[in-house]
Structure 1
């Protein structure tokens, strides 16, 4: 049995509202065990014996059918989330910055994003590669304006990436 984390992309923003109780109910109905949601930003922790590709397809279809939106998730193990939290390379206590971790459905997408990144100012838009993730530590209030932020928001990456604040990830693994 593997403990998984489904990171939903684009819920509870832009008019797409998915209540945590309804989300938890859906995952229970799909036959998963130990289901819990974390915050109201589309994070579901659950256990299953199924393999990742089948799980991702099943969950995305169920989300589309139940909530009527173009649902995409990034599916990672709880252990991978814990590793990403532990390895955060920047000063997570710096209150002037947002400690983000970028996840992708495919490792190749992370490599592509880093290759496509323009010349980044390491003080304004610090980015670092991690195991299966990219770490990003922009100044608060600048995330949509930085070169890396604009790159992440491209439609090309909408279906395969999502980012989470480090504090959210800490709650997921606790």
Structure 2
């Protein structure tokens, strides 16, 4: 068993409603122990059996079977979350304005180059390994860049968490 921080993409947005109690239940049914969630946006901390990628795919399938919609599951170790946090390349003026987007893989150089053609205004982003770091000048609710277009250009799905959430997930996993 290894402790994983498991992030679900786009839950409790629109029709994809997933109560956190049910997410904990599904994870436990798949063999996870010491299961906890943080806020209602698809953050799960658990000790998972076997290989992490196999657990992630099994969780995706179990959610799709139960609810009828697919959502990417992306997991990291505590050390990987800490490394992503430490690598954040922008000055953190307000932690809730700075994000790490945990990607399902590493974008190609060509995809990053295409994404870099999009106007960002006062916002900034950068890919480091399998994470995209974002700093919104005025918060995610009032972006000057089109982060959805940039994410599509990268051709790698991901899920974003602000630095407050990343810090809390690291704390919960320790």
Give the TM bin, normalised by the shorter chain.
0.7 to 0.9
**Cα distance, 1:105 vs. partner?**
1.2
Out of 24-33 and 113-122, give the one that drifted further. Answer: 113-122
Counterpart of 2:164 in structure 1 is 167
Partners of 1:118 and 1:155 lie apart in 2 by: 10
Q: Does 1:104 align with 2:103?
A: yes
Q: Does 1:38 align with 2:23?
A: no
Counterpart of 1:126 in structure 2 is 124
CA contact 1:99–1:138 (8 Å) conserved in 2: yes
List alignment gaps of at least 5 residues for structure 1: none
CA contact 2:10–2:16 (8 Å) conserved in 1: yes
Matched residue count: 169
SS in 1 for 2:61: helix
The correspondence of residues 125-144 of structure 1 with structure 2, limited to 5 A, is 125-139=123-137, 140=139, 141-143=141-143
**Cα distance, 1:120 vs. partner?**
5.6
Partners of 2:135 and 2:154 lie apart in 1 by: 22
Partners of 2:83 and 2:134 lie apart in 1 by: 16
List alignment gaps of at least 5 residues for structure 2: none
**Cα distance, 1:91 vs. partner?**
2.4
SS in 2 for 1:40: coil
SS in 2 for 1:164: strand
Partners of 1:18 and 1:69 lie apart in 2 by: 11
> Are residues 132 and 38 of structure 1, via their aligned partners in 2, closer, same or farther at CA, if it must alter by over 3 Å?
same
TM-score of the pair, normalised by structure 2: 0.83
Partners of 1:101 and 1:155 lie apart in 2 by: 15
Partners of 2:36 and 2:64 lie apart in 1 by: 20
CA contact 1:35–1:44 (8 Å) conserved in 2: yes
